Amino acid sequence: MKNLMKATLSIAAIVALPVLSFSAGKSIYGSDDRLNYYEASAGMQTLADSVVSFWKSYKVTENAATGKMDLTVRTLGDAKNLCPGQKFRDENVGAFCSGSLVGEDIVMTAGHCVKTETDCAATKLVFGFKVGKAGEAGASSVAKSEVYSCSSIVKRYLVGEPGSPAPAGQTLGADYALIKLDRKVTGHKVAAVNRNPTTKKGDKLFVIGHPSGLPLKVAGGAVVRDASKIGYFIADLDTFGGNSGSAVFNASNNKIEGILVRGDNDYISTPAGCNSVATFEQTGGRGEDVTKIAVVSPDIPKMESEKDSTEYTNVDSKGLTPVKAAPKTTIGF
């Protein structure tokens, strides 16, 4: 997932983490379960409505001729020097992190995505960066109404920073931020967070975000590997740099179980001089780290919508074809 927090950790802490690749990088476990927005079920698309991409402000500019906001993008193949045949190679990239709408004007993300108020002021949040149908490369412009500014940091924590020590017996821990937008969000639903999580090994998960800065992707087929850590758990999610800040959902209730924050390397070099996606057996690799929602939820105001959310039950192996059920069922993978 890449070394996101190198600069925030002491040299001693880094030395103690031999295989960590402390970054936004992540990777593929087993089969590549990433799906484009148009490939996901209606239920998953509804959940994806709360997901937002993070952009440097200079990459989001107003186009006077079209009245839209242009996005500075390049192909994933160019950005990562990918070998021919790699998945999503010809799609646009440009986002640097992901987040989810958890209040009318509150977005939840990883603490390393927006570290200071200066970072906040230089960040735009863009909804609707996705692939709407086969053959598209992803939006290169969006409506003005889909672009928001980071107004302030409400709450933030990044383990390893001064004053933010790791829990006793651990070298890693929580990583999260809640940021306030410049205005209330319209046209998008607030995501429900799991207020009473009982995260345990084997729980099924899925993630929605922007791997490698790509248009929105949904990825399931994952489970919790280790829930014993303080502040975070480990899972075998198919995630990459750019997924940092992505909401990780519990497949049993479609509520946010955590925030994707760290993981293994994204890409590996090949003898051909190009890069390919790093892959592992389903149970291999170091896994991906997810900040537990219980660490963050006390600071997230409860929304009326959480009390009356539509839930589903899964009907296929990946949970991508939900069927509505009553009274309380879920979409899970």
pLDDT tens figures, 194-234: 999 999 999 999 999 999 999 999 999 999 999 999 999 99
- Does the pLDDT value for residue 293 go beyond 80? yes
Closest CA to 181 of 248, 249, 109: 109
pLDDT at 265: 87
Q: Kindly indicate the confidence band of residue 12, based on its pLDDT and cuts at 50, 70 and 90.
A: very low
Segment 248-267 shows an average pLDDT of: 95
pLDDT at 271 over 90: yes
Is residue 176 pLDDT above 90, yes or no? yes
pLDDT of residue 21 exceeding 90: no
Q: How confident is the model at residue 264 (pLDDT cuts 50, 70, 90)?
A: confident
Tell me the percentage of the chain whose pLDDT exceeds 90. Answer: 81
User: Is pLDDT of 1 > 60?
Assistant: no
Assess contact for 182 and 148: CB atoms under 8 A. yes
Confidence of residue 289 (pLDDT cuts 50, 70, 90): very high
Would you place residue 319 in the very low, low, confident or very high pLDDT band (cuts 50, 70, 90)?
very low
* Arithmetic mean of pLDDT, 53-69: 98
**Residue 280's pLDDT band (boundaries 50, 70, 90)?**
very high
If pLDDT is split at 50, 70 and 90, which confidence band does 27 have?
confident
Q: What average pLDDT does the chain have?
A: 87
Between 212 and 312, the more confident residue is 212
pTM for this prediction: 0.84
Q: Given pLDDT bands bounded at 50, 70 and 90, which one contains residue 11? A: very low
pLDDT at 171 over 70: yes
What pLDDT, on the 0 to 100 scale, is given for residue 306? 52
User: Is it the case that residue 325 has pLDDT exceeding 60?
Assistant: no
> What class has domain 2-324?
mainly beta
